[in-house]
A and B are shown apart, each in its own frame.
Chain A
Amino acid sequence: MPQFLKNKKTRHDFVTYGLVILAFIVVSFMQANHMIPRMIAGQLVPICAYIVMAISLNLVVGVAGDLSLGHAGFMSVGAYTGIVAAMSLAEAVPNDGIRLVIALLVGAASAALAGFIIGIPVLRLSGDYLAIVTLAFGEIIKEVVTCLIVGVDERGIHALFNLTGKLTVDDLGLTETGFAIIKGAQGAAGTETISSFFAGFLLVMVALVVVLNLVRSRTGRAILAVRDNRIAAESVGISTTKYRMIAFVVSAALAGAAGALFGNSFSQLSATKFDFNMSILILVFVVLGGLGNMRGSIVAAAVLTILPEALRQFSDYRMLVYAIVLIIVMIATNNDTLKNLISRVLPKRTSLEEEVRADA
């Protein structure tokens, strides 16, 4: 065994990377042989985006211990800046792959900036207050994006802020070769779908490496220390605001990249998609997968996105069954009696649980 794999946590991380790569290979193989139902095949890129969202939110909620309810806001910032970047560079950068990478970087950078600006007031709070204020900021971002009209022509990008609701695309004053990218409440339309499953897989890997390496570093220890005991962390010279901010901004940047991937996978996307329900959905992935447990987040995000599709045959009862499944999973994962039973039946289970705990 190589030297660096002797560390239990490093080994745990590499098993996680290996599992993700394995899952990608299996799904790609199934896709090539048309073994995946069409309904789910269309969900592959969004699933990757949701996985990245779950990983990034887990950094704030699970690792830093700050309950944020506005994560979809950062996703929408990333989605729209990513779409604008990809669309306006359509001629300058003909290669779809490179254009997507640029879109992801632009999305990540803008969401990181938004995260920093919002973080300044929000991170003065903690607990329930922080949750409520992040919820409010998520809604504010959604409303702001709804008011945006953006178009591009050979003179550059034109943007309008449609506060009164009276402006239209015509007010941009585009030349004949120009076209609108974001049309206010209608959202983005006519987007070229350049996101691919492979790009999604790469983004998941990048998000995993960034978050896991961060958690295992000096910065990650500081973030965990702040979560565990704020006064003690301050007393050993760690600025609590700084490290909560780092977690918040890194998380926002990853959410922005996920948003750019998501946005460039649909030809039509309205801002209302990134509402409170989306934030809660991501939070459900995180809580169900386990706080601080990145592997769990990935599984939860994938399963809970496929589940509603798979339950389509129950039509009317679909959401009811979904809710019941959620409740059962929560009870099952938090029930000591059940855990003891499982650990008795499967003796290896305990060591697995220790490994899972090793994430946080």
Chain B
Amino acid sequence: MSSRDYLDIVPRSAPTDLCYSELQLAENPNPRCPVAVLLDTSSSMLGLPIAELNNGLRVFFCELMEDPVSRLAVEVVLISFGSRVSIVKPFTSLLEVGAEHLPVLQAGGHTPLGAALDLACAQLAKRRRFYKQAGIPAYRPWIVTLSDGAPNDDWQAPAAHVRRLAEQRHIVSLGVGVGPQADLATLGTFSSTDLPPRRLAGLRFGEFFRWLADSLRATSGSGDLRRAPIIANPAGWTQPVAQGSGQLNYWNTHFSP
């Protein structure tokens, strides 16, 4: 090989003769950080809340795509739970054409949180198998749940399963309560123990998703696939914990070691 052969080292287009997993590796060899975002779209979210949530999702993808670290690493599946549980946006690489395309979420129905958690676990397991097959390393997956009310399906067993995965450090699980009816206690049953659920201040979905993108970027840029997630400063979107609640405020103490 002469040095001249190196001139066109950058492939002008993606190879067409590879299967999907080989293609993903050839086009982007970097480790991935898979994230399942679970979105409560029950009827109580009708009106301004669902509109702000849709805006917030746009901010999320915009922020993720704008920074090359997160664009190379983060892969998101969006799961809504309301009148039914659906994958509103499947796992895609943020490098693919149309990665930024987002569906508009509609509100309606109840809160089948249990089914949503089951689907999230199944999706993350499936993505993990794909990474293994392709030979792509991965950071610990995240499950992020936004809910404005109490669940009304069989949620205890799925929640316990997620809790076990979080305790064994197989996933990071984070819950956010939206509005005054949000049930933080339920969210707490399946959150990572050092990340207790927090209440969103008002409808600051944009701030929340910006914070989530920051945290994912910092974590996936660390080059440390085993480490605890890096949590950015959440002051921009969380409601302050009530004074004198006696509860240790993990958000103010949890930090990158």
Q: Do A and B bind each other?
A: no
Chain B interface (Cβ within 8 Å of chain A)? none
